[in-house]
Amino acid sequence: MADFEIKDLRASVEGRQILKGVSLAIDKGEVHAVMGPNGSGKSTLSHTLMGHPGYTVDGGSVLLKGQNVLELEPDERARLGMFLAFQYPVVVPGISMANFLRTALNSKRGYDGKDKSKMVTPKEFRGLLKGQLEVLHMDDSFLPRYINDGFSGGEKKRAEILQMAMLKPEIAILDETDSGLDIDSIKFVAEAVNRMRGPELGILIITHYTRVLEFIKPDFVHVLVDGKFVLSGGPEVADRLEKTGYAEWGHAEEEPKEVA
Ligand code: ADP
Ligand code: MG
């Protein structure tokens, strides 16, 4: 039994079946990459795992710490140790990044406004933030700003990774965190993720392109086409995709090339 186990997951969007039986076992300490052409169901997988209400589970199970997380609310999944970095982070007007991060951290620790021993103190919070901001090459001027408001594409993706670094999940899903980033931003993000790698964290890194996998070396690579894994293996699978793209699965137009 792996630490995080997806079994025969089937899910649909707007009445259309997208995930057609996805199984994947992740142990903490491992990095799994899921690669696939556009529209293959990568974000459907990430959203379904995290409990997005727009996605309907048609079957299967997802187990973490003996619980079927599909029965839990998204916030319960987060408290259990799951984290999703969105492909398209949303702007949340009215809530500052600092307030959001502190509240999320308190919530994760079970602070409900009463038991002060569970509360993250302002000093501890600043200390935690400082190191992470440096690694991500972000300055603290964005902390009083509303979540993602006016952030560039690269800043939004880095802000997602900052949340991950603060919340310290056990299973992290990164949905195309690399897409739309210039090479420097990819390196900053990769460095931050690599620092978090370790026996307490399992990572599912979803990507269209092999490039980010040069910086975040995966242990396993799975190819998702039309809602199913068509190939799984070690890092050599990414090398094969680097050369041939998704052509062998009928997606010749999806040759890996970065669109800025
Ligand atoms: P990927 O992330 O691999 O590019 P997605 O999981 O986003 O693929 O999409 C898979 C399929 O599901 C696509 O055909 C897409 O149009 C459809 N889809 C995803 N989300 C929605 C949605 N909210 N409403 C309607 N269709 C959707
Ligand atoms: Mg996607």
| pLDDT per residue as tens digits for the range 34-69 | 999 999 999 999 999 999 999 999 999 999 999 999
For residue 255, is it within any domain? no
Which of 108-117, 176-185, 202-211, 249-258 comes out lowest in average pLDDT? Answer: 249-258
Q: What is the CATH number of the domain that holds 191?
A: 3.40.50.300
Ligand 1 contacts CB of residue 15 (under 6 A): no
Of 16, 17, 18, best ligand 1 pocket probe by most atoms within 8 Å of the beta carbon? 18
**pLDDT tens, residue by residue, 144-160:** 999 999 999 999 999 99
Nearest-angstrom CA–CA distance, 150 and 91: 8
Q: Note whether residue 88 is domain-resident.
A: yes
Q: Are 194 and 107 in contact (CB under 8 A)?
A: no
How many folded domains does the chain comprise?
1
| 112 Cα: distance to centroid of ligand 2 (angstroms) | 34
Q: Is residue 227 part of a domain?
A: yes
Full residue range of the structural domain in which residue 19 is found: 4-249
- 14 Cβ inside 6 Å of ligand 1: yes
Query: What local confidence, expressed as pLDDT, does residue 11 receive?
Result: 98
Tell me the two tokens of residue 208: 């269209």
C-beta 13 within 6 A of ligand 1: yes
| 259 lies in some domain | no
Residue 74 backbone phi and psi in degrees, to 5: -55, -40
What ligand is nearest to the CA atom of residue 15? 1
Q: How far does the centroid of ligand 1 lie from the alpha carbon of residue 226, in Å?
A: 11
Question: Is residue 197 a part of any domain in this protein?
Answer: yes
Closest protein CA for atom 26 of ligand 1: 13
Q: Is residue 75 included in any domain, yes or no?
A: yes
Closest atom of ligand 1 to CA, residue 44: 6
Q: In the structure, what pLDDT confidence band is assigned to residue 260 with cuts at 50, 70 and 90?
A: very low
